[in-house]
Structure 1
Amino acid sequence: MSSYRELLAQREKLEQQIEEAKSLEYAHVLNEIRQKMADYGITLAELGGGRAKGLKVGRPRAGVAPKYRDPISGSTWSGRGKPPRWIAGQDRAKYLIQP
């Protein structure tokens, strides 16, 4: 039976061999993928593995209607996120936009 240290040494050698094999095969696999993408006209957006330049991925988001208005500046706030300075720490009822 192998000792603990011998097994650790074997594992280290195997990990090195795995990394070497991966490095050697990486370029070949990458070229294959690029070639197939070119042959079939596949885009990064279709793969879902990131964003292509200038292309938004995901569902469109609708804007939220403002709920509060500053009577002095006319600025509005939806009530979501960090409150702006003009309403922070104040009674929000007086800033409500009436429907």
Structure 2
Amino acid sequence: MAQDTLSELLAQKAALERQIAEYQREQRSEAIAKVRALMAEYGLTLADIGAAKPLAPVKKAAGGKVAAKYRNPATGDSWSGRGLKPKWLSTALAGGAQLSDFAV
């Protein structure tokens, strides 16, 4: 483990995050199927459980964190692509690097 490079660790992190998201999707699908089965078994409607109309999706609060679009492979620093370019990226671009070289 101590010999893993930063890029390997970041790749492992990304893989774990994908696995977590997939697991959460599966669990949610299973929960929805169970609820639908119970509703059908007991003849329940949305009105019976206090939801006269389909629930609206929860809106995200403005100003929340945005996923990184660019990452410095040497340090792991990231930038969402919003606001001013960070110094590490400006320096790299001035040195001849392309913005696409840092795309996540």
Q: TM-score range by the shorter chain?
A: 0.3 to 0.5
Larger radius of gyration: 1
Question: Which protein, 1 or 2, shows the higher relative CO under an 8 Å CA cutoff with sep ≥ 6?
Answer: 2
